[in-house]
Amino acid sequence: MSTIKSPVGRKPPQVYWRRRAIALLALVAVVVAIVLVIVRPGSGDAAGNAAPVGTASSTGAADAAAAASPAPGDVNAPAGPAADGGVSACGQADIVVTPHTDTARYPAGSLPQLSFSLTNRGAGACTLDVGTATQSYTITSGSETYWVSTDCQTGASNTPTVINAGATLSSTPISWDRTRSAKDTCSTPNRASVPAQGASYHLAVAVGGFASADSTQFILD
């Protein structure tokens, strides 16, 4: 027992005490490592179940922004009752469709942005399919039709929507490339541009079976 309290050897007692301290710390480290391997803190839940792998997914900021951004032609409708929640269909006297362009005159090379708004002027809420599958944009000049959006439309979708009384919904603009449309020229590259240099055109819109009563005029330079 005296050799434990007072180490005996050729070297000073401080050397032996230092060696014993190092050996004791090494032993403690080994014990802690063994405990960590057995317990594995954070690897399970409170009941000791292993944490599931691959059950959660994350979405980057770019993906979230893309998901939140409406596609051309989509109608920006506020959240409301489900379209199948017993609300009756909109009647012809209820809905007013108004075509819009982003400006009244376009300089050479500027592409018109086409959109529409629709208003429920009925006494109560009603439901209407405002999806791109029910939309049609028509551009005319004089008695001639130059472009119809449904001629080469792809990826159309249906969007039944409840429109509250007095509410006005607006669509996301679509771009017109200033060319004449035809069903047999959809895959034709470099279609000829329509006349410009001060030519006047009119935009009419129909959506969900409701057509605009008036057209909107614009000019191409």
What CA–CA distance (Å, rounded) separates 211 from 221?
28
Assign 15 a pLDDT band (cuts: 50, 70, 90): low
Annotated domain spans of the chain: 2-39, 71-185+194-220
What CA–CA distance (Å, rounded) separates 28 from 198?
90
Q: What is the pTM of this model?
A: 0.66
Q: pLDDT by residue (tens digit) across 82-122?
A: 555 679 999 999 999 999 999 999 999 999 999 999 999 99
pLDDT at site 54: 30
pLDDT above 90 coverage of the chain, percent:
60
Sign of CA dihedral 117, 118, 121, 124: negative
**pLDDT at residue 219 tops 50:** yes
Amino acid symbol at 90: C
DSSP letter for 1, please. -
pLDDT at site 206: 98
Q: Do 174 and 115 touch, CB atoms closer than 8 A? A: yes
pLDDT at site 205: 98
Rounded (10°) CA dihedral 16, 19, 21, 24: -120
What CA–CA distance (Å, rounded) separates 104 from 217?
7
Beta bridge partners of 169: 118
Mean pLDDT across the chain, nearest whole number? Answer: 79
Residue 91 in 3-state DSSP?
A: coil
Q: pLDDT by residue (tens digit) across 19-69?
A: 666 766 666 666 666 655 555 544 444 333 333 333 333 334 444 444 445
Number of neighbours of residue 8 by Cβ within 10 angstroms: 8
> Per CATH, which fold does 71-185+194-220 belong to?
Immunoglobulin-like (2.60.40)
**Hey, which bits of the chain come out as E strands?**
75-76, 95-101, 105-106, 113-120, 126-129, 135-141, 144-148, 160-163, 168-171, 174-175, 199-207, 210-211, 216-220
Q: pLDDT by residue (tens digit) across 158-208?
A: 999 999 999 999 999 999 999 999 999 999 988 989 999 999 999 999 999
pLDDT at site 12: 61
Q: Which of these, 100, 178, 184, lies nearest to 146 by C-alpha position?
A: 178
- Distances in Å between the alpha carbon of 153 and those of 28, 116, 157? 73, 17, 11
pLDDT at site 8: 52
- Measured in degrees and rounded to the nearest 5, phi and psi for residue 161 equal -140, 140
